[in-house]
């Protein structure tokens, strides 16, 4: 099992070899070595860090329990100044208004700290709770993207939403 896998697992897991080295998918046991190397290399890697994606985990402020996560990704600079919002909530924590508050917080971050002009989001048409969450945060429905994302091995249509900076004044 690979950490943060974004694609389907391969069977068998690939092992790639090069001169004096090998490559394999990450496993949970790699986290400590990865974390140490990243910390040790922070100054070295900072000039190469790109302003493309900002991922956040959501925690309960009282219990420190992990609730879910969200990402402002695909940041487009230049004439666009836009990003795409993605989010997920653990089942035990869904339906309690927490993601609505988390989306508001990350939208404020996007508009103030990242100086974005537009934040986009998409959800499948039968996901009424997700559409309501976006609308509660001021996102406006903009259209339908046919076969937009592959969900559970099937290309699915998605309803497109966006929040533009000037419309964000109502965020908590």
What ranges do the domains of the chain cover?
1-48, 50-170
**Rounded Cα gap, residues 131 and 127, in angstroms:** 6
CATH number belonging to domain 50-170: 3.40.630.30
Identify the residue with better confidence: 95 or 55. 95
Nearest C-alpha neighbor of 141 from the set 105, 115, 167: 167
The string of pLDDT tens digits covering residues 66-116 is 889 999 999 999 999 999 999 999 999 999 999 999 999 999 899 999 999
What's the predicted TM-score (pTM) here? 0.74
């Amino acid at each position: 099992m690979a950490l943060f896998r974004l694609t389907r697992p391969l069977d068998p897991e690939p092992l790639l070899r090069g001169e004096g080295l090998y490559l394999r998918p990450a496993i949970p046991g790699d986290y400590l070595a990865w974390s140490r190397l990243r910390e040790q290399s922070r100054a070295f890697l900072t000039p190469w860090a790109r302003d493309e994606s900002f991922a956040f985990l959501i925690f309960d402020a009282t219990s420190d329990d992990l609730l879910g996560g969200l990402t402002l990704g695909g940041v487009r600079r230049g004439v666009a100044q836009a990003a795409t919002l993605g989010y997920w909530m653990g089942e035990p924590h869904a339906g309690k208004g927490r993601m609505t508050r988390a989306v508001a917080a990350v939208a404020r971050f996007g508009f103030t700290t990242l100086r974005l002009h537009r934040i986009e989001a998409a959800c499948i048409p039968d996901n009424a709770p997700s559409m309501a969450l976006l609308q509660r945060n001021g996102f406006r429905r903009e259209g339908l993207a046919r076969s937009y994302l592959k969900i559970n091995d099937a290309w699915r249509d998605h309803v497109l939403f966006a929040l533009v900076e000037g419309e964000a004044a109502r965020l908590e």
